[in-house]
């Protein structure tokens, strides 16, 4: 294993930000390679943890050097400055590094960081980006793949997650790492992790096993794990969006990942001052709750649940 | 004047989020009224538009008989952000000017921008007033997407701004208010002036004159007053030179904003207070006008310090 310095940014009053990658060189020059990117945002706790556990696994747990066939680069964190002070974006100007790709060497600070990271990520056969949802919700772990024209939808099934979200591309997505990585020829995927401040060990294992399975099925490592799920590909037509007609205190009575039946109560809104239940949520169809609002206080018309419909 | 709530949403604890519009209409009936919409506060830390719009509504209140069209003003699109010194939409941390056109079924920031776009839709002209951000001070200028410049450049010249910057089409900017409105048929201009979190009174007065001049030319007002419209310089006749910080430190400017400078003039220094060292001295890469200057002194490598507009082949 080699530790490589990808970028170094100095600061007037903070210790320098040094972005490092852990490079595991494979024994088979013909084998495909992969790079894994962890926390780009300061609230990417599960992406950070999962990437760091992957480093530990590749360094200490995989038996024998021969098991690593292709080159594997893991970058557990890009935005330490934000992580260390619980900021989401770049702490000075609040820009999102994942909106700066492919980067610009002569541009603003986060454009320069993106450029240095992107330069290192070039020419990998496969790419994984660990991220969270952009809105105020948490979710089951799933693969997010933009409908970019460059995506490999079949390849996404090799992670063995229950869900692949084949998402419409919007203008804002054209400056994301996933899109640009694909544009430059890498089979890139985003794994969307549950959005929690604490480590959820079960979700972390699920994501970790998905990555190991992907590495194994693509012959990047030789390490068998139990097969995952036969993934379901969803688009927005498959998803029921349940919004709250009232603001207040949101209480989910069904957990994310639960199967629900039509008309089953799944949550409620309590008036924040007089304590009365002012709204009850009922599942509009059979299916699985794949996303749920994660804060206790909810805005009017905010999306409380997303249910992937099941049945004929 | 009629005040309308174009969007409202009950917040979790005893408060309503409200986006408001004031409409000024003629006191008499006229045929085929033109409509102009003036928007500010899409970014919660940009307040220059609040003052310019205040001056405009104050003028309209005093000159009701001059009104010949519909003038809609939206001073505070990101009202929660403005009152909490937050650039993006609070809690969601979303830049509203990267969230257009939005939709009714999106998250709250998407609903807000959707409501604005739907309300402005049908206007003949829209003006979106920004204040740069808290980091940079800008001279009053208009930003125009090349894709729509045939329609918007003639209007921009009437706005009494100093500079018109015509930029290339960039996919990510399709999520802005101006692109959305231009694509919906409303000729939309973006004004950048001053600095975030502050008011520059003279710029407010300057833009007021420009807005009134434009409205006079378009027949939206009819007044005997003369409204100044200075001749702006166009980005197409020269080049914009960027000066980004080569290192992190404290930026100390050596020149005033708007100064006319020569190549190799010292723009400022990057210093280290802890040691008393000068880490770097910044020289102008080209002569011209210093139309952007760093206001917030803490910089990282790459932070934008200045922009100069000058002739490409300038010999100094």
pLDDT tens-digit readout, B240-286: 999 999 999 999 999 999 999 999 999 999 999 999 999 999 999 99
pLDDT digit string, tens, across residues B215-232: 999 999 999 999 999 999
Asked if residue A68 and residue A48 are part of one domain, the reply reads yes
Chain A partners within 8 Å of B303 (Cβ): 92-93, 108-109
Asked if residue A246 and residue A103 are part of one domain, the reply reads no
The residue in chain A having the minimum alpha-carbon distance to the alpha carbon of residue B86 is: A94
> Looking at the predicted structure, is the pLDDT value of residue A89 above 50?
yes
**B240–A contact, CB cutoff 8 A:** no
C-alpha dihedral sign at B305, B310, B311, B313: negative
Mean pLDDT (chain B, rounded)? 95
Asked if residue A246 and residue A222 are part of one domain, the reply reads no
Nearest to A21 by CA among A62, A97, A102, A76: A76
Q: What is the pLDDT of residue A63?
A: 64
Q: What is the pLDDT of residue B316?
A: 41
Q: What is the pLDDT of residue A196?
A: 85
Q: Give mean pLDDT, residues A288-307.
A: 96
Q: What is the pLDDT of residue B315?
A: 46
Contacts of B176 (CB under 8 A, 6+ apart): B97, B98, B100, B190
pLDDT digit string, tens, across residues A21-60: 999 999 999 999 999 999 999 999 999 999 999 999 999 9
Nearest to B194 by CA among B178, B183, B182, B205: B205
Q: Give mean pLDDT, residues A247-273.
A: 98
Binary contact (A109, B300; C-beta < 8 A): yes
The residue in chain B having the minimum alpha-carbon distance to the alpha carbon of residue A297 is: B12
Binary contact (B108, A299; C-beta < 8 A): yes
Q: What is the pLDDT of residue A65?
A: 67
Asked if residue A16 and residue A114 are part of one domain, the reply reads yes
CB contact at 8 A, B122 and B281: no
Crossing angle of helices B48-62 and B201-217, in 10° steps, is 50
Chain A partners within 8 Å of B135 (Cβ): 93
Closest partner residue to A299 among B9, B172, B300, by Cβ? B9
Nearest to A282 by CA among A301, A298, A269, A296: A269
Nearest to A213 by CA among A205, A203, A223, A204: A223
Asked if residue A129 and residue A6 are part of one domain, the reply reads yes
> Looking at the predicted structure, is the pLDDT value of residue A64 above 80?
no
- Number of CB atoms found within 10 A of residue B205's CB: 15
> Of the candidates A187, A202, A233, which is a domain's last residue?
A233
Structure tokens at A166: 């084949």
CB contact at 8 A, A1 and A22: yes
Domains and CATH numbers, chain B: 2-233 (3.40.630.10), 238-310 (2.40.50.100)
CB contact at 8 A, A186 and A127: yes
To the nearest whole Å, the CA of B244 is away from the closest chain A CA by 7
Interface test with A, best of B5, B300, B304 (most A CBs within 10 A): B300
> Of the candidates A233, A255, A286, which is a domain's last residue?
A233
- Identify which has the larger pLDDT, B107 or B19: B19
pLDDT digit string, tens, across residues B77-126: 999 999 999 999 999 999 999 999 999 878 899 999 999 999 999 999 99
Asked if residue A260 and residue A272 are part of one domain, the reply reads yes
Q: What is the pLDDT of residue B313?
A: 58
> Looking at the predicted structure, is the pLDDT value of residue A66 above 90?
no
**A172–B contact, CB cutoff 8 A:** yes
Asked if residue A54 and residue A25 are part of one domain, the reply reads yes
The DSSP letter of residue B199 is: -
Structure tokens at A273: 């001052």
Nearest to B189 by CA among B206, B164, B222, B172: B164
pLDDT digit string, tens, across residues A161-178: 999 999 999 999 999 999
The CATH number that applies at residue A284 is 2.40.50.100
The DSSP letter of residue B174 is: G
> Of the candidates A233, A265, A280, which is a domain's last residue?
A233
Asked if residue A250 and residue A134 are part of one domain, the reply reads no
Asked if residue A257 and residue A196 are part of one domain, the reply reads no
The CATH number that applies at residue A70 is 3.40.630.10
For tokens 């001073």, name the residue: B75
Q: What is the ipTM of this complex?
A: 0.91
Mean pLDDT (chain A, rounded)? 96
Structure tokens at B70: 């519909």
| Total structural domains within chain A | 2
Asked if residue A246 and residue A189 are part of one domain, the reply reads no
- Run of H or E residues at B16: strand B15-24
Secondary structure of chain A in HEC code, one letter for each residue:
CEEEEEEEECCCCCCCEEEEEEEECCCCCCCCCEEEEEECCCCCHHHHHHHHHHHHHHHHHCCCHHHECCCEEEEEECCHHHHCCCCCCCCCCCCCHHHCCCCCCCCCHHHHHHHHHHHHHCCCCEEEEEEECCCCEEECCEEEEECCCCCCHHHHHHHCCCEEEEECCCHHHHHCHHHHHHHCCCEEEEEEECCCCCCCHHHHHHHHHHHHHHHHHCCCECCCCCCCCCCEEECHHHEEEEECCCCEEEEECCCCCCEECCCCEEEEEECCCCCCEEEEEECCCCEEEEEEECCCEECCCCEEEEEEECCC
The DSSP letter of residue B94 is: B
CB contact at 8 A, B9 and B44: no
Binary contact (B107, A170; C-beta < 8 A): no
Binary contact (A174, B300; C-beta < 8 A): no
Chain A partners within 8 Å of B250 (Cβ): 12
Interface test with A, best of B84, B302, B305, B306 (most A CBs within 10 A): B302
Structure tokens at B4: 């309308």
- Residue A233: how many CA atoms within 13 Å on its side-chain side? 13
Distance from the Cα of residue A49 to its chain's centroid: 12
> Looking at the predicted structure, is the pLDDT value of residue A312 above 80?
no
Interface test with B, best of A112, A169, A171, A176 (most B CBs within 10 A): A171
- Number of CB atoms found within 10 A of residue B96's CB: 26
Asked if residue A287 and residue A219 are part of one domain, the reply reads no
Q: Which domain covers residue A103, as residue numbers?
A: 2-233
Nearest to A152 by CA among A166, A141, A132, A173: A166
**B98–A contact, CB cutoff 8 A:** yes
The DSSP letter of residue B176 is: S
Asked if residue A278 and residue A228 are part of one domain, the reply reads no
The residue in chain A having the minimum alpha-carbon distance to the alpha carbon of residue B10 is: A300
Q: What is the pLDDT of residue B299?
A: 98
């Amino acid at each position: 294993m080699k530790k490589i310095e990808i970028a170094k940014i100095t600061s007037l009053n903070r210790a320098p930000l040094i972005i490092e990658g852990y490079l595991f060189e494979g024994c088979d020059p013909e084998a495909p390679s992969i790079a894994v990117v962890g926390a780009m945002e300061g609230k990417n706790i599960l992406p950070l943890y999962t990437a760091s556990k992957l480093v530990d696994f590749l360094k200490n747990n995989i038996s024998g050097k021969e098991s690593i066939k292709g080159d594997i680069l893991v970058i557990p964190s890009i935005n330490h400055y934000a992580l260390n002070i619980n900021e989401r974006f770049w702490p000075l100007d609040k820009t999102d590094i994942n909106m700066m790709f492919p980067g610009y060497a002569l541009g603003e600070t986060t454009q320069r960081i993106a450029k240095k990271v992107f330069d290192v990520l070039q020419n990998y056969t496969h790419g994984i980006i660990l991220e969270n949802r952009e809105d105020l919700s948490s979710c089951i772990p799933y693969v997010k793949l933009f409908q970019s024209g460059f995506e490999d939808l079949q390849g996404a099934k090799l992670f063995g997650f229950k869900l692949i979200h084949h998402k419409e591309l919007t203008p804002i997505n054209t400056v994301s790492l996933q899109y640009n990585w694909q544009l430059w020829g890498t089979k890139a995927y985003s794994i969307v992790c549950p959005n929690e401040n604490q480590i959820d060990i079960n979700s972390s294992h699920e994501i970790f096993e998905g990555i190991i399975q992907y590495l194994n099925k693509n012959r990047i490592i030789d390490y068998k794990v139990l097969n995952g799920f036969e993934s379901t590909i969803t688009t927005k037509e498959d998803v029921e969006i349940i919004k709250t007609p009232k603001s207040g205190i949101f209480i989910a009575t069904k957990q994310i990942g639960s199967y629900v039946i039509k008309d089953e109560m799944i949550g409620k809104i309590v008036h924040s001052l007089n304590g009365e239940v002012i709204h009850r949520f009922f599942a509009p169809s059979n299916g699985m709750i794949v996303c749920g609002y994660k804060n206790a206080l909810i805005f009017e018309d905010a999306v409380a649940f997303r249910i992937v419909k099941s049945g004929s | 004047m009629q005040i309308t709530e174009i969007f409202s949403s009950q917040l979790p604890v005893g408060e309503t989020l409200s986006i408001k519009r004031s409409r000024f209409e003629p006191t008499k009936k006229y045929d085929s009224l033109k409509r102009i919409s003036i928007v500010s506060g899409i970014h919660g830390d940009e307040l220059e538009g609040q003052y310019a719009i205040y001056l405009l509504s104050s003028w309209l209140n005093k000159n009701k008989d001059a009104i010949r069209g519909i003038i809609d003003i939206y001073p505070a699109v990101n009202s929660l952000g403005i009152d909490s010194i937050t650039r993006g939409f609070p809690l969601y941390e979303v830049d509203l000017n990267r969230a257009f056109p939005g939709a009714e079924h999106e998250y709250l920031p998407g609903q807000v921008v959707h409501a604005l776009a739907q309300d402005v839709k049908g206007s003949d002209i829209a003006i979106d007033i920004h204040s740069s951000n808290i980091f940079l001070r800008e001279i009053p200028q208009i930003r125009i997407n090349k894709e729509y410049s045939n329609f918007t450049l003639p209007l921009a010249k009437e706005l009494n701004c100093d500079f018109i910057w015509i930029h290339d089409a960039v996919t990510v900017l399709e999520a802005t208010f101006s692109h959305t409105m231009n694509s919906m048929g409303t000729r939309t201009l973006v004004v950048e002036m001053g600095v975030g979190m502050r008011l520059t009174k003279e710029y407010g007065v300057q833009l007021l004159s420009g807005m009134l001049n434009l409205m006079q030319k378009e027949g939206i007002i009819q007044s005997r007053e003369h409204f100044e419209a200075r001749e702006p310089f166009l980005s197409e006749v020269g080049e914009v030179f960027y000066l980004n910080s080569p290192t992190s430190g404290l930026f100390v400017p050596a020149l005033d904003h708007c100064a006319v400078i020569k190549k190799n003039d010292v723009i400022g220094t990057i210093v280290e207070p802890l040691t008393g060292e000068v880490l770097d001295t910044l020289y102008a890469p080209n002569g011209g006008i210093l139309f952007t200057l760093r206001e917030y002194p803490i910089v990282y490598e790459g932070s934008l310090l200045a922009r100069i507009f000058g002739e490409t082949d300038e010999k100094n």
